[in-house]
Amino acid sequence: MPSPSVFDHVWLTDTDHSTGIYRVVGTSDETVTALRVSDADGRRRHTGELVTVSRDELATAEPAENPDGNRSLSVAVVSQLKMSYWMLRAFVGQLTAHPLPTIVAVALVTFGFAGGRIASLPEIVLDLSVIVGCLVLAYVGSGRL
Q: Using one digit for the tens of pLDDT, what is the confidence trace for 23-71?
A: 999 999 899 999 999 888 888 888 889 999 888 888 778 888 888 766 6
Q: Is residue 107 part of a domain?
A: yes
* Greater pLDDT, 95 or 76: 95
Region of poorest pLDDT, from 11-15, 21-25, 82-86, 140-144:
11-15
Judge if 50 and 14 occupy the same domain.
yes
Give the pLDDT band (50/70/90) at residue 79. Answer: confident
In the predicted structure, residue 125 carries a pLDDT above the cut 80: yes
Structural domain span for residue 93: 72-141
Higher pLDDT pick, 110 / 117: 110
Question: For residue 2, what pLDDT band results from cuts at 50, 70 and 90?
Answer: low
DSSP state of 119: S
Query: Average model confidence (pLDDT) for the chain?
Result: 88
The stretch 2-25 carries a mean pLDDT of 84
3-state secondary structure of 126: helix
1 lies in some domain: no
Q: Are residues 46 and 104 in the same domain?
A: no
Q: Examine the fold and report which residue of 53, 69, 85 is the final residue of a domain before the chain moves on.
A: 69
CB within 8 Å of 36: residues ≥ 6 apart:
17, 18, 20, 21, 22, 45, 47, 49, 50, 51
Is 2 within a domain?
A: no
Residues 78 and 134 occupy one common structural domain: yes
51 and 38 in a single domain? The answer is yes
One domain, residues 51 and 76? no
User: Both 81 and 137 in a single domain?
Assistant: yes
